[in-house]
Amino acid sequence: MWTLARAVSPRIEEVPSTGSTNEDLAERIRAGEAWPHLGAYLTRDQRGGRGRLGRAWRAPAGSSLAISVALDARRIPPERRGWIPLVAGVAMRDAASRQLPAPAGVKWPNDVLVGERKLCGILAEVAGPAIVVGSGVNTRMRQDERPVPTATSFAMEGVRVDEDRLLADYLGRLRELSARLVRASVREVVREACVTLGREVTAHLPGGDTVTGVASDIDEDGRLVLLAPGPRAIAAGDVVHVRPAQTGSA
């Protein structure tokens, strides 16, 4: 298994089930275990996954694939690391789109959507010398298994996903974009993939405040720029798409 993915990654370890692949991998790295750049730790049965703002994310066994990838933090300057969830989102979006009937999109800062439905979430955290990038992608999930009404899966989109190909394509694109992140801007790549731009959104900020406005841009630091009504850069938060932006007068 994982023949294609093993041609991309120097280490792939799959476990039958776990609470959280991100927590497992981060703990092992912090304890001194060496994981190579692009080493992947995964399961089809994650029982205690986490999303942004500490939210729990659970799915029935076998319905999704939880993947945590170690990136060598020494390769990525600290001032560029804010782009990592977005870069991972683009990598998964591109990998998923190769098997979906229509292209997926990235919702700032860390979700992959098919239309308005969530296919995958991304969570990145620093663990000693590594940055652990976790993703939970819904593969075989049925409609009656959705944790929230806005979730979707390859199966619900009518696709029998090739998980090996998906993982290989994701890791290959993540390798390419993380290398590009070090030497050049990834802003245009992210902007092209981001379906949040041009939308009216509500941003729920870490301190509990909310801001509503039109998502007009992503700045040089990866922050979402809202017109609310004046420009305001959002570095972190949970974004809800409200409706398309108005592009002309009534």
Assign residue 53 the CATH number of its domain: 3.30.930.10
Q: Are residues 11 and 92 in the same domain?
A: yes
pLDDT score, position 206: 84
User: Model confidence at 54, in pLDDT bands (50, 70, 90)?
Assistant: low
User: Model confidence at 29, in pLDDT bands (50, 70, 90)?
Assistant: very high
Q: Is residue 173 part of a domain?
A: yes
User: CA–CA separation, 83 vs 74, rounded Å?
Assistant: 15
Alpha helix locations (H) across 105-226? 163-183, 187-193
Q: Is residue 150 part of a domain?
A: yes
pLDDT score, position 248: 43
pLDDT score, position 184: 83
* Mean pLDDT (whole number) for 134-151: 94
* Mean pLDDT (whole number) for 50-56: 58
Based on the number of CB atoms within 10 Å of its own CB, is 168 exposed (0-12), middle (13-18) or buried (19 or more)?
buried
CATH number of the domain within which 207 lies:
2.30.30
Q: Are residues 187 and 210 in the same domain?
A: no
Q: Is residue 47 part of a domain?
A: yes
Q: Are residues 89 and 188 in the same domain?
A: yes
What is the Cα 240 distance to its own chain's centre? 16
User: Model confidence at 250, in pLDDT bands (50, 70, 90)?
Assistant: very low
* Mean pLDDT (whole number) for 157-176: 98
* Mean pLDDT (whole number) for 13-32: 97
Q: Are residues 170 and 210 in the same domain?
A: no
Number of compact structural domains in the chain: 2
User: pLDDT tens digits for 204-246?
Assistant: 888 888 999 999 999 999 999 999 889 999 998 889 887 665 5
State the DSSP string of 18-65. BS-HHHHHHHHHHTT----TTEEEEES-BSSEE-GGG-EE---TTSEE
Q: Is residue 122 part of a domain?
A: yes
Name the residue range of residue 112's domain.
Answer: 3-193
More confident residue, 205 or 152: 152
Q: Are residues 112 and 232 in the same domain?
A: no
pLDDT score, position 51: 56
pLDDT score, position 59: 82
Q: Are residues 221 and 111 in the same domain?
A: no
Q: Are residues 189 and 208 in the same domain?
A: no
